[in-house]
Amino acid sequence: MDEQGRSTLSADESGRILDRLAGLEKVISQKQITNALKVTDKQSVRRCRLTNEMMMWVVLAMGLFTELPIRQVFKACRRLRQGEPSPCRSALCVARQRLGSQPLVALFESVVRPMATEQTPGAFYRGMRKVAIDGTVMDVPDCEAHQHLGRSSGSRGEAAFPQLRKVSLVELGTHIEFAFVSGGWKDSEKKQVEGLWAAIPDDALLMEDRGFFSYDNWKSLHLKHKLLVR
């Protein structure tokens, strides 16, 4: 992007971005965006370029284009509006902070769900929907808001960044992560996983590593679901 905020992407790259944005709009509608802002009391009161509605699309697009800075993502979202200048990076960052995370959580809860059908390759086994539980640890920005997560340490001292531990419920046929629980890196995955029980579909064949297995977990699940542990 040049100093005036014009995109410097090649035509091929621009076409790829437009295709991916069009795909995003097939899954998420403007009505769902508006509803998520309404239920979290985040609808914009005054009309301006960086409304919360616009920033919802920008933040969602940032998840698709992780290699691009926020100004470039904004320009991609407004690509069909030729000649429109882009806001400065600081204005976009302030607008993103103003939006907060609550509308995105509400949107996730209203949109994301298992989507496999009987025609989806590898999605079912003997009529049961294949889903899996798995955990991961990831670095997060070293800011004040993340210090409560803690960080790992070793013989060379503490890790450079705070770390978040996440346990996810994934539909195997589509790779959709339709539920997750997050916490600090010291949190027990066996305790975190209890927050996923309510999200398991009734027709699920649940697969998990033996590290998640415990008698309490088995007792909570075996009456309602089929469980496969390796």
* CA atoms in the 13 A half-sphere facing the CB of 118: 2
Residue 166 — φ and ψ, nearest 5°? -130, 135
| Extended strands (E) in the chain | 124-125, 128-139, 153-154, 157-158, 163-171, 176-184, 204-208, 226-229
pLDDT of residue 15: 58
pLDDT score for 190: 84
Nearest to 9 by CA among 60, 63, 74: 74
First-to-last alpha carbon distance for the chain, in angstroms, is 49
Provide the residue type at 27 as one letter.
V
pTM for the model: 0.79
pLDDT at 36: 96
pLDDT for residue 219: 72
- Phi, psi (rounded to 5 degrees) for 181: -130, 135
Q: Which pLDDT score, from 0 to 100, does residue 53 have?
A: 92
Q: Residue-wise pLDDT tens for the chain (230 aa)?
A: 444 444 454 545 555 666 777 788 888 999 999 999 999 999 987 777 789 998 999 999 998 888 888 988 888 777 656 666 778 899 999 999 999 999 999 999 999 999 999 999 999 999 999 999 999 999 999 999 899 999 988 888 888 999 999 999 999 999 999 999 999 999 988 889 889 988 999 899 988 887 777 777 777 776 666 777 66
